[in-house]
Amino acid sequence: MIGNNTAELLSAADNSVLFTSIKPDLVMEKGQGMYLWDTEGNQYLDFIGGWGTNCLGHCPEVITRALQAQTTTLVNCSPAFYNKPQLEFAQLLTQASCFDRVFFTSTGAEANEGAIKLARKYGNKILGGAYEIITTQNGFHGRTLATMSATGKTHWKSLYAPKVSGFIHVPYNDLDAITEAVNPNTCAIMLELVQGEGGVHPANPEYITGLRKLCDEKGIMLIFDEVQTGFGRTGKLFAYEHYGIEPDVMTLAKGIGGGFPLSALLVKEKYNIFEVGDQGGTYTGQPLAMAVGLAVASEVIGKYLWENAEKQGRYIMDKLSELSEDLKLRNIRGLGLLIGMDLPDASAIAIVSECLKEGLIINTPNPTTLRLMPPLIVKKEECDKMLAILARVLKQYYSL
């Protein structure tokens, strides 16, 4: 057993963990509410919130209770059977959204894979074999091979060749470009309502209403990847509610599990078209995950937590705008508690690292942009504390 010696723990990381990314020299040990603590006992105010997953903060009682109750009742019964929390959860989601059917998986990428398969199934069955899916440049849909191909990151273009074919990437927020790209092979359009990993870029209202019209005219499927924007994050339960239209298919992950691996593919009845054997997975509807999801969703919905996301998000954006001149921040943008801002130069990684030293966790989707996505339960005092640390770090870094 490794003890609580941070140096020993970090050497275990050096010796045994497959390298995929550069991480700071610390090990997280516990979390509570808006805070994390490392093995040295240092406290961090967490404005990433498990990468947008911990919507109820760290270790909320609802998750603890749901896990405790479900682990002594039923952990897994195989996907061959229905289970109770699965059915209750599916019903809650269909009642809270514009959708009729739900398929549960564990990660956002898997939910998107399901959406891609469904779109191809629909194209095959209804659209005479159409299989192409139009996605957007700078979008993000996950890290499986198909979802990487769907993703419009330029530096992924040559990674893991050959790519899964059948994806066309067009500029975001450009209705003419997407209209032009639609052809007889098109079966679906898939995009985020705020490009999250792409740098926090919300979709324009006319763009989204235009896409709905285009998809209706052409009979193709409109898929919203709400993995990051869903479940209260943007100040509505689902981001599509901002736009006054309904998609045909939506994927959810991140916030829906409150930090537990959980995702969902939601579809309108018209797209309830999978046949036996078309789609599945060992952990689909896994009872433990279902119990947690049900508990998290009941809390978010029962307490209208998106209203707090709207309120605190507005507060943060207003304060940032007030400070922007002093701090040299540009393009403060976002929806609810998904907020981005640009720095005067490509120092985002350094700023994130300085904030960490000062006990604040924030994130950077690209070298010039900072991103905030705190738990939905964040309070004004914590926003003030975050703003104070960020301001101090920026002033020091740029000698303002």
Ligand X SMILES: *Cc1c(COP(=O)(O)O)cnc(C)c1O
**Residue partners of 373: CB distance under 8 A and separation at least 6:** 47, 48, 49, 51, 52, 196, 228, 233, 337, 338, 339, 363
Rounded to a whole number of angstroms, the minimum distance from the CB of residue 288 to ligand X is 17
Tell me the C-alpha distance between 314 and 319, whole Å: 9
Rounded to a whole number of angstroms, the minimum distance from the CB of residue 194 to ligand X is 9
49 binds ligand X (CB under 6 A): no
Closer CB to ligand X, 116 or 320, in the complex: 116
Binding to ligand X by CB under 6 A, coded x per residue (else -) over 243-282, reads ----------xx----------------------------
Residue 72 CB-density burial (10 A; 0-12 exposed, 13-18 middle, 19+ buried): exposed
Residue 397: φ, ψ to 5°: -60, -45
The token duo for 363 is 């994130």
Which amino acid is present at 70? Q
Tell me the C-alpha distance between 52 and 336, whole Å: 12
Q: Which residue is nearest to ligand X (CB)?
A: 108
Tell me the C-alpha distance between 384 and 356, whole Å: 17
Closer CB to ligand X, 137 or 179, in the complex: 137
**Given candidates 46, 113, 132, 192, which one binds ligand X under the rule CB under 6 A?**
192
Listed in order, strand segments (DSSP E) in 209-293 are 221-225, 249-252, 263-267
Tell me the C-alpha distance between 353 and 364, whole Å: 10
Closer CB to ligand X, 169 or 254, in the complex: 254
**Given candidates 44, 89, 103, 140, which one binds ligand X under the rule CB under 6 A?**
140
337 binds ligand X (CB under 6 A): no
**Given candidates 228, 308, 312, 347, which one binds ligand X under the rule CB under 6 A?**
228
200 binds ligand X (CB under 6 A): no
224 binds ligand X (CB under 6 A): no
Tell me the C-alpha distance between 165 and 163, whole Å: 6
Binding to ligand X by CB under 6 A, coded x per residue (else -) over 68-107, reads ---------------------------------------x
Interface residues with ligand X (CB under 6 A) are: 107-109, 112, 140-142, 192, 196-197, 225, 227-228, 253-254
